[in-house]
Amino acid sequence: MSRLAGKVALVSGGARGIGRGIADLFAAQGATVVAADVIRPEPGSADGRGEHAQDAGAVAFEWLDVTDEDAWDRVVGVVEDRYGGIDILVNNAGVGSYEAVHELHAAEWDRVLGVNQTGVFLGMRAVIPAMRRRGGGSLVNISSIYGAAAVPGSLAYQATKGAVRSMTRNAAITYAAESIRANAVLPGWIRTPMTASQTAEFNDAVIASTPMGRGAEPLDIAYGCVYLASDESAYVTGTDLVIDGGFLAR
């Protein structure tokens, strides 16, 4: 239970869903973890800070709008001041969108790109200098099976998740000589508040197309992120870790 001992991790979108699962498992594996989100986790204190309790530690909380570059700089500064540095960034914050090209308004396009793509860019830009000061680190960017495969509609969402894969590879080769690794995770259907907001018909269709015949839980993604964040993957950078029950193998 100490695969991440001594490491400091920042997880965006860490209040619920996949991000919450990642933050809690990282802490259970020995990391010092800050979950950053616009949603306050439960329990939370009046000043916006709270902790996730789990078996082997706790996760601190900081408010963060990932589309706000000043907010990123503030959170990174807080984490460095409080814990001495940052070893791991998980860019997990994301929003869904379901409109096809002819239905998609520019405002919705901008909203989804702002969180899913610009948020990843701002997160890496804010944290990479801290990793340089630390002597290296691991960037883990959450993409999606729909960054690699098409689904009817969902243009903005697919565009951002494909972009996250390309941005990850770019960061990987740009910073490899500085011991900063970058990898993308491509989840399949995961039981989260986002998928709960989708129609049952849509969810059933995705699960029916998954060879394992079922969806997954946030913990399934979290274990993959532990590997990419740990020294076990010291020679792994610029790759996609697909965790999808076989969906993309069809």
Polymer length of the chain: 250
| Per-residue model confidence as pLDDT tens for the chain (250 residues) | 699 999 999 999 999 999 999 999 999 999 999 999 999 876 543 333 445 544 445 899 999 999 999 999 999 999 999 999 999 999 999 999 989 999 999 999 999 999 999 999 999 999 999 999 999 999 999 999 999 999 899 999 999 999 999 999 999 999 999 999 999 999 998 988 888 887 888 888 889 989 999 998 999 999 999 999 999 999 999 999 999 999 999 9
Angle at 202 between CA 198 and CA 204, to 5 degrees: 110
The pLDDT assigned to 57 comes to: 59
> Tokens in use for 119?
């948020």
The pLDDT assigned to 4 comes to: 98
Q: Assess if residue 1 is contained within a domain.
A: no
Q: Is 79 exposed, middle or buried (0-12, 13-18, 19+ CB in 10 A)?
A: buried
Largest CA distance in the chain: 50
Q: Assess if residue 250 is contained within a domain.
A: no
Q: Assess if residue 169 is contained within a domain.
A: yes
Instruction: Please tell me the number of Cα atoms within 13 Å of 101 on its side-chain side.
Output: 1
Residue percentage of the chain with pLDDT more than 90: 82
Structural domain harbouring 180 = 8-243
Q: Assess if residue 43 is contained within a domain.
A: yes
Q: Assess if residue 151 is contained within a domain.
A: yes
Q: How far apart are CA 143 and CA 152, in angstroms?
A: 18
Q: Assess if residue 153 is contained within a domain.
A: yes
Number of domains, the chain: 1
- Rg of the chain over CA atoms, in angstroms? 17
Give me the helices (H) in the chain, please: 17-28, 69-83, 106-113, 119-134, 155-175, 193-196, 200-208, 218-229
Percentages of the chain per state (helix, strand, coil), in multiples of 5: 45, 20, 35
The pLDDT assigned to 186 comes to: 98
Give strand pairing partners of 90.
Answer: 11, 140
Q: How far apart are CA 186 and CA 232, in angstroms?
A: 19
Note if the pTM is more than 0.85.
yes
Please report, for the domain that includes residue 236, its CATH number.
3.40.50.720
Q: Assess if residue 75 is contained within a domain.
A: yes
Q: How far apart are CA 198 and CA 208, in angstroms?
A: 15
The pLDDT assigned to 52 comes to: 53
User: Tens digit of pLDDT for each residue in 55-68?
Assistant: 445 899 999 999 99
Question: Which active-site residues does the annotation give?
Answer: 157
Q: Assess if residue 2 is contained within a domain.
A: no
